[in-house]
Structure 1
């Protein structure tokens, strides 16, 4: 790459997925290799005075755990700080774009801290939204552009210039990489991309290479956790979710003892939790299967299924049973580089990683075009 081309690249190329279980991102600093980033999903209002008090922890904690942002008079704690100091919940009810600005600004500040960037730099963004909320992307761009120009952070005012912006429906990153690997055959197939996350379930259909707008429902894994919570008492959502995922099919007492709040009735409480998880999982699978039956093409018409998302791994056996005839490509065949998996997110990074590959190539292609015009 020529020196001129390198200078034209933005300082930061960032791809984000605003998942219900956490904000996942792939970041590449100019001249560096890609890195993954993850922040807890909570966002909550807070006063500048209260947030200013939190800066005492800056030297002792990772920036992901001390993030807050201020846009004019609107101040928000984000991620771990929002949950631990202000009791914020994951925020699954609002549409993702409503909190995306604060989450994006927080990630940008974290990147600035981790990679020792100056207070002013250029950034190119690629974002993922559920297909059912994709129209919100038109609202999100001007909001982000204005907010990034000047916002408050734990280390002072930060100025980021948005020089590139793209937004895609969830599953688009995996689909783009699948198309690249499949080649011409994509134009002859009917393929469904099923994205199963913590908050949402989404489906996009590709008919001979032409994508539809897709559909989204609130049947992410949070629906199952909600059902378990209704059948039990005294449990924390985050701890329960982690225990359920760790237990998988082996619903053994040792997976749930640590989340019980009662010492005197621990054995009976664990037995009740196991029963609730088993019943709720069966109900959740039925609900998800009924929805997929409504939105997917008939099995005789469908050539292949791409199933992805963290919940997909948890329900892999049931999903295999749902589609006994249709070939399934799990996570679109996307392989996560080991260097990006330091937070053990595994396949939950597949969509945002695949989209980041596309985004970086596009940014460099555009930059190369700018270089050619300059040198003409």
Structure 2
């Protein structure tokens, strides 16, 4: 029996979704089971001397809470460290690929720490970008390859070999799994794939299996949070978001008690927040419905709509109302196992999990083909 060519098989298979509310990843170490990794989305420039001084905290925290990376002279704090120590914002304005390199390196270092890997190993990457930014994937691959070749971390220099790379528009993982489960029927249907995240809303149309380029708009959940903040004062976006999500479609006073630190005009403050949330939700839904009407085929053309993303569940009743006659397939039918849901991310993992399944199968198929070719060459 021919010996398995381990050099052709990556030590790490990594799938990443650079969401506005956090970087979500599915990690599979060679011979191991898939694991979920989540990091906060913040990235900020920082002084390497100060960053190295933080390394002594590594024994007291998870690596994802103390991540920083250096590429040449360019040093960045990433995730929790960036947000809490350096007060970095969520970084929603830059295009995702602009920060994706730092986030990817930080995740790779975190994986090395968590799984006790050496400072040099191989990785195969699958990434998700918004349809409106998908062309940026052409810039991202060489940037990632060069950066992974040598970068600084809290534990020293790492050298990681990129032996596999592919990039998909957001929703691509769910679509790939949906096609696999649907089979030949996909070639007879017109399907809309709507992805609603924290930063963006995206829409892709599949006409008998042929995908269009897709559209992306700044209509993620952050749009509603911004509207609420415009109509109130003194509240942070993150605490507002948590309260809004918890309140659901019927906000009550108890959902917002913890936001009001002053006892003066307490009831008035609560009334103001509830009014702001209700009016902002109506305006947000209206904007989203009008945009979908512009970018999607008419209801008479559509056979199905796949709706996914973290914001989708919050707006479920409203979205059902937008598509009263078109069948809606929530999250493409992708189910997240309890083992993978230890971070309580739920359906927000659907896209990255589905893509990780597809990518893992493709990596193993590539290895099998490589082994077959090698064996043929040896026989010949």
Q: Matched residues in 2 for 1:37 and 1:247: separation?
A: 27
Cα contact 2:13–2:360 (8 A) shared by 1 = yes
The alpha-carbon deviation at position 202 of structure 1 amounts to 0.3
Long gaps (5+) in structure 1: none
Cα contact 1:5–1:368 (8 A) shared by 2 = no
1:236 aligns with 2:236: yes
| Pairing of 1:295-374 with structure 2 (within 5 A) | 295-374=295-374
Cα contact 2:2–2:375 (8 A) shared by 1 = no
Q: Matched residues in 2 for 1:264 and 1:165: separation?
A: 56
Partner SS, residue 261 of structure 1:
coil
The alpha-carbon deviation at position 192 of structure 1 amounts to 0.3
Cα contact 1:235–1:261 (8 A) shared by 2 = no
The alpha-carbon deviation at position 54 of structure 1 amounts to 1.4
Partner SS, residue 166 of structure 1:
strand
The alpha-carbon deviation at position 316 of structure 1 amounts to 0.3
- In structure 2, the residue matched to 1:99 is 99
The alpha-carbon deviation at position 2 of structure 1 amounts to 7.8
- In structure 2, the residue matched to 1:147 is 147
1:247 aligns with 2:247: yes
Long gaps (5+) in structure 2: none
Cα contact 1:189–1:207 (8 A) shared by 2 = yes
| Pairing of 1:42-61 with structure 2 (within 5 A) | 42-61=42-61
Say if 1:238 and 1:2 are closer, same or farther in 2 by CA, change over 3 A: farther
Cα deviation digits, residues 233-263 of structure 1 (max 9, x gap): 1111111111111111231122112122324
CA RMSD of aligned residues (A): 1.2
- In structure 1, the residue matched to 2:127 is 127
- In structure 1, the residue matched to 2:195 is 195
Superposition TM-score, scaled by structure 2 size: 0.97
Partner SS, residue 216 of structure 2:
strand
1:83 aligns with 2:83: yes
- In structure 2, the residue matched to 1:267 is 267
Superposition TM-score, scaled by structure 1 size: 0.98
Q: Matched residues in 2 for 1:43 and 1:259: separation?
A: 27
Q: Matched residues in 2 for 1:41 and 1:3: separation?
A: 42
- In structure 2, the residue matched to 1:276 is 276
Cα contact 1:124–1:165 (8 A) shared by 2 = yes
Q: Matched residues in 2 for 1:166 and 1:129: separation?
A: 11
- In structure 2, the residue matched to 1:291 is 291
Cα deviation digits, residues 237-295 of structure 1 (max 9, x gap): 11111111111123112211212232433332222111111110000000000000000
Q: Matched residues in 2 for 1:81 and 1:290: separation?
A: 39
Partner SS, residue 126 of structure 1:
strand
Cα deviation digits, residues 292-344 of structure 1 (max 9, x gap): 00000010000000000011100000001111000000000001121110000
The alpha-carbon deviation at position 52 of structure 1 amounts to 1.4
- In structure 1, the residue matched to 2:113 is 113
1:31 aligns with 2:31: yes
Cα contact 2:11–2:123 (8 A) shared by 1 = yes
Q: Matched residues in 2 for 1:56 and 1:278: separation?
A: 47
Cα contact 1:190–1:207 (8 A) shared by 2 = yes
- In structure 1, the residue matched to 2:215 is 215
Say if 1:59 and 1:2 are closer, same or farther in 2 by CA, change over 3 A: farther
Cα deviation digits, residues 163-201 of structure 1 (max 9, x gap): 000000000100000000000000000000000000000
Q: How many equivalent residue pairs?
A: 376
Cα contact 1:234–1:261 (8 A) shared by 2 = no
Partner SS, residue 179 of structure 1:
helix
